[in-house]
Homo-oligomer: A and B are copies of this chain.
Amino acid sequence: MKDETMLPNQIDAWQMTKPGELMRTQVPMPEIRPGDAVVKISGCGVCHTDLSYFYMGVPTIHEPPLSLGHEISGVVVGGDPGLIGREVIVPAVMPCGECEVCSSGRGNRCLSQQMPGYSMGIYGGFSSHIVVPARFLCVVEHRGPIPLEHLSVVADAVTTPYQAALRARLQPGDRAIVIGAAGGVGSFMTQVAKGMGCAAVVGIDINDEKLQVMRDYGADFTINPRGLAHSDVKGLLKTYCKDHGLVANHGWKIFEVTGTKAGQELALALLGFTGSLIVVGYGTDQTTYMLSRLMALDAEIIGTWGCPPERYGEVLEMCLDGRIALAPFVETRPMSEIAHVFEQAHHGELKKRVILTPDF
């Protein structure tokens, strides 16, 4: 049996040798510079973004071969002595901390930012170890019975919705709509909105079964828009508001998580007076809209990218105090099943977000 605290010379890794191809291999442990931390990976979540690199031709900054994976939790086993032995979450995007964008408080969109499995050389989360800047790590304490590997998804699937809520200036008492409420990110968006004190969270999704689950996790009301006209969806929302003493015609904050044309068009149709539409999901379709409607509505459309590492602690706290449940929405699989899991994810056959745990 290996001494798990001893630093290996090699990192075990599943590499994307080229898009569509995975290979188990070993790569050299990189030079560990001052300020670095070596993280022994406990789990790495499989994100839609990984699939877009693997199947859909979206290019990674570091050209293949490289290991994908950017939702990482683990234990520090090398580098920064102050962190050795600490459990950590590795932020999905790590700003440079030096540039003008960072100085302006928008580090989440730093143009020199690094992302494991994308722009940090050949290194990513579908591996045994990763070397990252220590200063951005989110230290995990008092996690109780929550498995460390479950916390890997905080790094993108939970912090991205949290940052979306911050961008929307979400306040207790607000009213929110989540389009794609039952999906991998949407289910956390729904919980984040409720966890931040929304008076009403309406979950919209085309998966009835998953939508039903969301009733127990933040959604006060749910709508399946399949086969419905925009006016029908509006009608359902209006009736719900009437029945529950809620304002229907202004102030709703709409989080569009699907990135689909249908989802975005519904979001635009639902956008009302003083409302906000927060674009959380990514898709390449175009939509057509009368931009001056935003003026007449005093409304806004807000794009949101990543989450600054300094916010991770707040999100972790919500996961640890129960405002955000992870367990019902994730499942762990041995990392050796990566190829099969990618296939299943690509074909929409997964019911939960999969976290791969190293079994090299």
Contacts and interface: CB of A to CB of B under 8 A. Distances in A.
Contacts of A290: 284-287
Interface string A258-289: 01000010000000011000011111111111
A308 to B, nearest CB: 11
A126 B20 CA distance: 70
A292 B279 contact: yes
Nearest to A277: B291
A273 B304 CA distance: 11
A292 to B, nearest CB: 5
A252 to B, nearest CB: 12
Given A101-B250, A251-B101, A274-B106, A259 B300 contact: no
Interface string A284-317: 1111111111111111111111100000000000
B273 A101 contact: yes
Given A104-B251, A250-B101, A289-B289, A296 B273 contact: no
A101 B248 CA distance: 12
Q: Which of A249, A279, A285, A291 is most buried by chain B, counting CB atoms within 10 A of its CB?
A: A291
Contact of A274 (B109, B273, B289): B109
B298 A305 contact: yes
A100 interface: yes
Nearest to A300: B302
A294 B287 CA distance: 12
Contact of A303 (B249, B293, B304): B293
Contacts of A303: 291-300
A100 to B, nearest CB: 6
Contacts of A42: none
Contacts of A292: 259, 264, 279, 281-285, 303
A339 interface: no
A316 to B, nearest CB: 22
Contacts of A23: none
B301 A104 contact: no
Interface residues of A, number: 45
A108 interface: yes
A281 B298 contact: no
Given A106-B298, A247-B100, A286 B289 contact: yes
A100 B241 CA distance: 15
Contacts of A264: 291-292
A111 interface: yes
B251 A280 contact: no
Contacts of A286: 288-291
A255 to B, nearest CB: 12
A279 B298 contact: no
Given A247-B100, A249-B111, A291 B300 contact: no
27 contacts: A100-B251, A101-B251, A101-B273, A106-B250, A106-B251, A106-B274, A106-B298, A108-B298, A109-B250, A111-B273, A167-B300, A280-B295, A281-B295, A282-B295, A284-B292, A286-B290, A286-B291, A291-B303, A292-B303, A294-B302, A294-B303, A295-B303, A297-B303, A298-B303, A300-B300, A300-B301, A300-B303
Interface of A: 100-101, 104, 106, 108-109, 111, 167, 247, 249-251, 256, 259, 264, 273-274, 279-306
Given A101-B250, A284-B292, 6 more contacts: A167-B300, A279-B292, A281-B292, A285-B292, A293-B303, A299-B303
